[in-house]
Each structure stands twice: as C-alpha cells, then as structure tokens.
Amino acid sequence: MLKIVVMVSGGGTNLQAIIDGIKNGTVTNTELIGVISNNKGVKSLDRAAAAGVPGIVISPADYPTRDDFNKAMLDKLEELAPDLVVLAGFLVRIPEEMVKRFSNRIINIHPSLIPSFCGVGCYGLKVHEKALARGVKLTGATVHFVNEGMDEGPIIAQRGVAVEDGDTPEILQRRVMEQAEWVILPQAIDDIANDRIEVKDGHVVRKKGN
Ligand code: GRF
C-alpha cells in the first residue's frame, strides 16, 4: 500500500481528483495519510476534512525564517513518513534538503507541456496567459518527479489539450484541469503505487510487462 501525502496551497481540485480516484477505485493500492497546506483556510483543507484525511497547515507566517519553515515542513514529512509526496497546486519552492531526502519520491503537476511555459514565476494562471500570448494551438499538463530544478525533473506523464479561439486564461485553465490534470495525476499515482514505472538514465520508463 503506497502511503501518500498531498501538499496544497489553494482550491485543491487536483487533491479532490486524487480523493475521488481512491474512492472510485481508479487509484489503487494507495492510502492518503495527510494533506499539508502552506495556507490557512483554503478549500483544500475542507476537501481533506470531508474525506476524513488529516489536514495540516505549515505556514511561513508562523516561522521567523524561511529555514525554520523549511525545517518544519521536512520534520512533518519525516513524522508522517509517506512513500510518495504529491505536490498538487503547491506554490512553495521545495528545499534541496527535502528533494534529497525524498529523491524520486516527490511528484508535481504542472499545467503545461513541459518544457514549455514553466520555470521560476510560471505557475497557475500565468502559465495559461503565456500559452495564449504565444498563440500555441496545443497545451496540456505534465506530471514529473521533482528534482533540484524548477519543473525540470523526469517527466512521468503528459496530456495535450486544444487551445480554442476566444479562450481566456480562466477558460483554458479549467479545460486543462478537466481534460488533463485531473486524469494524469491520479493515473501517475496509480502507476507508482503498482510499481509500473522507474527512472532510468534520467528518464521515466515503464517496467517490463506494464
Ligand atoms: C492547477 O492549475 C495546478 O496545475 C497548478 O495549480 C493550479 C491549482 O490547482 N499547480 P488546485 O485546484 O489547487 O489543485
């Protein structure tokens, strides 16, 4: 049974997709043991509570320095001891210490086809604003392992989503969530929970027979 902790910052629609996937059996062999938010009072925490999952707030505002905040985050993860950490709309830079401690055991969902429209400062609605400004006809979402870089870890899964004439960033964001994020993130967790993928020479490959 894969024990996962999901880290969130806001609405938690990706968290909800994971909760629903576990409930409806599309995400198997997985136990959601906790949700960690860097923000108080966000809908993600309501979603966790409704699912009977412990919700924990670790807010930078409660710590004198960023290092203290990072240490608190890492201490909590060490205490929960998940097999996999899932960043689902988590808008905090993951400290190197945490990447090392959970090497190839942290995954992230990004709302573009990496390497397009990613990196420092490119998150949430900004991603879709950039895609529309560039005039791409296809965008989508990516699930990847987290390494020391920003959105640079080995790619696990991607799914394309058509950009339509007249799209606003909000309309495009919603389509990318519905058609891509909420599908490939639960699928990636199910693949990891059932040992179907591995990282070889920096790339994610499916294990033989999967
Ligand atoms: C989503 O677009 C996700 O890709 C990005 O943050 C946005 C909000 O996600 N990382 P959620 O609704 O909080 O899951």
**Predicted local distance difference test score (pLDDT) of residue 210:** 85
Lining ligand 1 with CB less than 6 A are 8, 10-15, 88-89, 109, 111, 124, 173, 177, 181
Q: How far is the CA of 186 from the centre of ligand 1 (A)?
A: 14
Mean pLDDT in order along the chain per 10 residues (210 residues): 98 98 98 98 98 98 97 98 98 95 97 96 96 98 95 97 98 98 98 98 93
d(C-alpha 68, C-alpha 145), whole Å: 25
Instruction: Tell me which CATH code domain 2-197 carries.
Output: 3.40.50.170
**Predicted local distance difference test score (pLDDT) of residue 209:** 83
Q: Which residues are catalytic?
A: 110
d(C-alpha 78, C-alpha 36), whole Å: 13
User: Contact at 8 Å (CB) between 17 and 181?
Assistant: yes
Element housing 173 (H / E):
helix 169-176
Hey, where are the domains in the chain?
Answer: 2-197
